[in-house]
Structure 1
């Protein structure tokens, strides 16, 4: 199509015409003006898509609902048939290198079929469940896009691959498959000739931005965190690496500085986080912290080698593993194995570095994080950062190495350490740009330090919510630079909330993510019966739970009856208690026996994924 050849930018917005027979998506600019002489037509019965020239065939207006939308997330097959997912509300975040960045605030799932009369009652239930799962994932938040900039790639990667042929490809084709969360949803549209500018890549993670004046010079500081689609999921159900070496909770974080003088100077520093790169599991089982498990038959050396072979392929340079897990207790098993395997692998571009975070910083001695900074200071300088010079490519710099930080969850301790490394790199970048004086540090500029802390705390909170269901622990140190008793209390609340979510809600969340990413495909003729199983069943586990609830109710009832007798007969509370002691004690024993059975068989009582087995 003529206008598709003029640009590879995604259309900014659309008029969505919903007709009983077809959808019509007409490209517009954000002001509502026409942006193309063509539109996308989707047949709601045959599922056929095609690009139509509006000069030859106008969009029919009769019997058509018109809605303004910001973009197309894609299509997905549900029980009733295909559904179109569109962005109905988006919020402007800011500009990165003069490109607009948006976050998705609201979406709509529109079925092709206008009714469900063709479905059985079971199919209607499942169709509703799958739709609710998609809605749940989209409600998590943290989805971002740009119609002109590939935000799935680091600036260093874009500079290294800035060849003319590459730039002629569509935005989706040249984006990183690892970080495009709607890649599966766009698979149908991307096959339509001429539809390249309709396929909007969306990343999941965090983007935050602030402007600040430092020594009379204004800079813009941006953080972009990109969550990988590989081994994506929730805490406990996604741990370690898969057969290809992709790590759970893998996040690539890029800290970007922009400075206009008036020529634009741009620097960036990339860090990585991901689950301990071995084959291990930690399934929830009602205990506060399940014990990590590893199979003796698993080839840990091969898993580790594949992981860092993958790192070398995508990043190049050297890599330092910063392992923050405890060197005693339940964490030692996996952490100690990582150290052993790293030494055995002896990969020339990988160095293992151990720092027992909880031991070094116990009793709120958080200033001791400086020990780690000193241990890594030489490599922070050696690895450097990316610098895009406004003058010539020869004047640019490239990051030579990368820190890959992990604790058990890669959330709380990891974010604290990543923010420390980012601060050290930021100091060097601002000195190079002439914004900080030679002896100045980021922490010497209160306004800059405050904005920096809050950006990284927001990043940690967002990454934590997406993986564990709550904001990050230890966020007060990242946000305020010190550990507080109020922060410790907040950590306690979040820890309890995580326990409840991880044991009783994360199975559903994992299923929803697998459906969204295409790890599970809906087949209306083969619906998984496991989705309708209830924990209150007639097997031994269901009976144990029912018995525990009944025994608890009877115990409370006995105590209440004793209270009423006390009021009616004016007897001593001790006498009343003795009259009811036998019944109360009996039901209390039954309750504790049932609870002991439940906890001994904890894995049978937690909310587990039902769509795709790991």
Structure 2
């Protein structure tokens, strides 16, 4: 079989002149790897490959820097923006390949602007929004390994015509977060070695030793670009069946007992999380937990069927839908509708598993998760996992677990870690690393590594969707409820409330701009930024200021005044303003301006 060179360049020397950008390919230690370089004209947007032998890079009046890669080109009506990976760090190796995490990007406008002008200010605000998305989410890439695809998918598509494709073409578009910015490179085949697919999510690589066997435990969570966004503003599915907060998580065990690539053993186990696959919403309105809304005029069956058929087309096999929402109260509205639709659809590849997490684990009794585990253990065993030895496929995963709660964060991460551990037991026995699962349970060092990597994964998925680390992370991290865990949950819950009500509109707009779901204009960018914290139109602003002032006056009257009538006046006035703001909460929430869902 031919060996296709589809790797992307590891580094570049970037030369910036007033008229052009020049990208000179380098390896990881800075050596020149090609006599051909890329030239981009800043005025005509023309991309040209040139041979340095006949057309050397001009070194007069240029800024020179070393960069890790090209994130992409962001298009605007006023001139494009060059987005580069200024800093990246190697977080580990997967199957012998370096995996990088983006640490810092740089955004360089094609056109020079005069500071203080409207165009300059709008462009700066747009750059800030691009930087904001990068700073609020973990981005990863590799120059040789396709991080957007699972091991099982890559093995099933091992045909020469697929392997010969450039990495950006092979990548799963669902998980390629720079695909919109990479468009100029995708359109020109000769440029595709200059850009790598970049995913958002989480990657953890841990070295483990168990029963005198050394191996690596790897966790990859891929966050979808479809219906991407933030808690409360993105719920349910869209018309194409794409759910909000959809994440594919792959747990990989890499075992090389002989130091021989032809005998290396690798196993993989996939799980998914995603918003309840119906048409529903839960808009923030200053209430602690807004009531979910299910529109009776929407074709819920169609939304569910579209999503599940897509899942089946992608993964085949049997699918377990594990629903962790409360079976009473406000959550029952959506959970009950899901159960009704599942029964109506009656898909033969779907098994529905309802588990009221809060009821069953009341009082933080995590031991009752065994009820769920006992219910699905046969599916974990019979569903198996993907296995290769020396690159040859030995087994495939036949059952896939899709878990959801309301946010698909805290409860979901706890349950996914429980399922992952049961599968890992089977993989360790299959590799002959252990003889029985008891050897894992008594090994505190390995148990700690497993719990921490899953807790780190939960925290990162939560930060990207809700703005804080995960709740209930102490169970995932140490296996029990702790005082520090309870305190952190309280802090995170309050932080979520503030972010979801007063900051997430700006974040949602930034994500939509970043992914190309909305196009920036000179009219909308200033409005987004000016209203990025609170929607303070004159009347709303007066109400908020009035409430703060009257509350302060009430406290002062209590502390330093004996005038009961003044105290009552300010107290009643502040109470009236409080209820006015509370019952008109949606008017005070920071909402997205670009796309109304």
The TM tier, using the shorter chain, reads: over 0.9
Cα separation, 1, equivalents of 2:149 and 2:132: 27
Do 2:126 and 2:525's aligned partners in 1 also have CA atoms closer than 8 Å? no
The CA distance in 2 between the partners of 1:501 and 1:531, in whole Å, is: 15
Task: Give, in angstroms, the shift of residue 446 of structure 1.
Answer: 2.0
**Paired residues for 1:505-520 under 5 Å:** 505-520=503-518
Deviation at 1:508, TM superposition (A): 0.7
Counterpart-to-counterpart distance in 1, 2:157 and 2:105 = 33
Q: How many angstroms does 1:75 deviate by?
A: 1.0
Maintained 8 Å contact 1:239/1:248: yes
Displacement of 1:211 in angstroms is: 1.0
C-alpha change, 1:6 and 1:367, in structure 2 (3 Å) is closer
**Aligned counterparts, 1:57-76, within 5 A:** 57-76=55-74
Deviations 1:481-529 (A, max 9, x none): 1122331221111111111111111111111111111111123477675
Q: Distance in 2 between matches of 1:312 and 1:599?
A: 44
Please say if 1:228 is aligned against 2:224: yes
Native 8 Å contact 1:82 1:111 kept in 2:
yes
TM-fit CA distance, 1:441:
5.3
Give 1:32's aligned residue.
Answer: 30
Preserved contact between residue 43 and residue 49 of structure 1 (Cα < 8 Å): yes
Preserved CA contact (<8 Å) 2:125 2:525: no
Q: What is the correspondence of 1:551-562 to structure 2 with a 5 Å cutoff? A: 551-556=550-555, 558=557
Q: Counterpart of 2:114?
A: 116
Task: Tell whether the 8 Å contact from 1:528 to 1:611 is kept in structure 2 after alignment.
Answer: no
For residues 324-373 of structure 1, give each alpha carbon's deviation from its aligned partner in whole angstroms, at most 9, with x where no partner exists: 11111111110111111111100010111001111111112111111111
Q: Indicate if the aligned counterparts of 1:476 and 1:482 stay in contact, CA closer than 8 A.
A: yes
Partners of 2:137 and 2:463 within 8 A in 1: no
Task: Decide whether aligned partners of structure 1 residues 447 and 307 sit closer, same or farther in structure 2, where only a CA change above 3 A counts.
Answer: same
Tell me the equivalent position of 1:159.
Answer: 155
Instruction: Provide the rounded CA distance (Å) in 2 between the counterparts of 1:529 and 1:458.
Output: 36
Structure 1 unaligned spans of 5+: 564-575
The one-character-per-residue Cα deviations of 1:148-186 (angstroms, maximum 9, x if unpaired) are 000100000000001001011110001000000010011
Q: What corresponds to 2:387 in structure 1?
A: 387
> 1:397-446 deviations in whole A, cap 9, x for unaligned?
00001000001111111011101100000000110111111454532322
Shift of 1:129: 1.9
Residue 486 (structure 1) aligned to one of 461, 484, 488: 484
Instruction: Give the structure 2 partner of residue 356 of structure 1.
Output: 356
Pick closer, same or farther for the CA change 1:553–1:450 going to 2, 3 Å.
closer
Structure 2, unmatched stretches of 5+, are none
The offset of 1:317, in angstroms, is 0.6
Shift of 1:214: 1.2
Instruction: Please state if 1:522 is matched with 2:520.
Output: yes
CA distance in 1: counterparts of 2:556 and 2:576, whole angstroms: 19
CA contact (8 A) 1:51 1:193 kept: no
How many residues align structurally? Answer: 589
1:278 and 2:283 aligned = no
**CA offset digits 1:197-233 (Å, max 9, x no partner):** 0121100000001111111111110000000000001
Query: 2:568 corresponds to which residue?
Result: 585
Whole-angstrom CA distance in 2 between matches of 1:350 and 1:55: 61
- Select 1:399's aligned residue among 397, 400, 406: 397
Matches within 5 A, 1:88-167: 88-116=86-114, 121-167=117-163
Is contact 1:11-1:29 (8 Å) kept?
yes
Stretch of structure 1 that moved more, 423-432 or 126-135: 126-135
State yes or no: 1:544 paired with 2:543.
yes
Alignment counterpart, residue 579 of structure 2, candidates 596, 604, 611: 596
Q: Which of these residues, 174, 177, 185, is aligned with residue 178 of structure 1? A: 174
Given the superposition, is the C-alpha separation of residues 608 and 155 from structure 1 closer, same or farther in structure 2, using an over 3 Å criterion? same
Q: Is the 8 A contact 2:70 2:84 kept in 1?
A: yes
CA deviation profile, 1:424-477 (whole Å, cap 9, x unmatched): 000001101111114545323222211111110100011011111111111110
Deviates more, 1:207-216 or 1:123-132: 123-132
Structure 1 window deviating more from structure 2 (542-551 vs 469-478): it is: 542-551
Distance across 1 between alignment mates of 2:391 and 2:507: 49
Partner residue in 2 for 1:47? 45
The 5 Å alignment of 1:125-524 reads: 125-262=121-258, 263-390=263-390, 392-393=392-393, 396-438=394-436, 440=438, 442-524=440-522
When residues 293 and 476 of structure 1 are mapped into structure 2, their CA distance, relative to the original with a 3 A threshold, is same
CA, structure 1 residues 95+137, in 2 after alignment: closer, same or farther (shift >3 Å)? same
Deviation at 1:45, TM superposition (A): 1.1
The structural deviation recorded for 1:392 is: 4.1
Structure-1-length-normalised TM-score: 0.93
Residue by residue, what CA displacement relative to the aligned partner does 1:271-329 show, whole Å, maximum 9, x if unpaired? 00000111100011000000000111011000000000110111111100000111111
Measure how far apart 1:554 and its partner are.
3.8
